[in-house]
Amino acid sequence: MTIQQNTDVQRRSDINFDTVLHTLRALVPDRHVSHLESLHIAEQQADLLRDILHITTDTFPVDLIEKIPFVSITPVHELPVSGIAFWGDHTWKIHIRAEEPLSRRRFNTLHEFKHVIDHPNLGRLYDGRPHVAAGERELVADHFAACVLMPADQLRRASLETVDRCTLAGRFHVDHTQLGHRLDDLDLTPIAPEQLSIYVTERRIT
Ligand SMILES: [Zn+2]
Instruction: Provide the 10 A C-beta neighbour count for residue 169.
Output: 18
Distance 136 CA to ligand 1 centre (A): 10
Distance 82 CA to ligand 1 centre (A): 9
**Measuring CA to CA, how many Å separate 89 from each of 26, 74, 115, 149, 189?**
25, 14, 18, 29, 45
Output the pLDDT for position 189: 78
160 Cα: distance to centroid of ligand 1 (angstroms): 32
Residues of the chain with pLDDT under 50: 198-203, 205-206
Ligand 1 centroid distance, CA of 54 (Å): 26
| Residue 133 pLDDT | 74
User: What's the rounded Cα separation, in Å, for the pair 82 and 84?
Assistant: 7
Contact 93, 101 (CB under 8 A): no
3-class secondary structure, 109: helix
Alpha helix positions (H), 68-151:
102-118, 122-125, 130-149
Tens-digit pLDDT profile for residues 87-124: 999 999 999 999 999 999 999 999 999 999 999 999 99
By the CB criterion, residues less than 5 angstroms from ion ligand 1 are 138, 141
In the chain, the largest separation of any two C-alpha atoms, in whole Å, equals: 69
Full-model pTM: 0.86
Q: How far apart are CA 15 and CA 51, in angstroms?
A: 10
Q: How, if at all, do strands 91-97 and 71-76 pair?
A: parallel
Ligand 1 centroid to Cα of residue 96, in Å, is 11
CB 74 within 8 A of CB 93: yes
| The CATH fold of domain 3-149 | Arc Repressor Mutant, subunit A (1.10.10)
Distance 111 CA to ligand 1 centre (A): 6
CB 165 within 8 A of CB 179: yes
Residue 80 CA, ligand 1 centroid: distance in Å: 13
d(CA 132, CA 126): 8
**pLDDT of 205:** 44
What is the Å distance from ligand 1's center to 74 Cα? 16
Q: How far is the CA of 94 from the centre of ligand 1 (A)?
A: 11
Q: Are 113 and 148 in contact, with CB atoms under 8 Å apart?
A: no
Residues 6 or more apart whose CB falls under 8 angstroms from that of 128 comprise none
pLDDT reported for residue 139: 95
How many Å lie between the centroid of ligand 1 and the Cα of residue 2?
A: 37
Domain spans of the chain, in order of start: 3-149, 151-206
Q: How far is the CA of 31 from the centre of ligand 1 (A)?
A: 23
Q: Using CB atoms within 10 Å of the CB of residue 12, give its burial: 0 to 12 exposed, 13 to 18 middle, 19+ buried.
A: middle
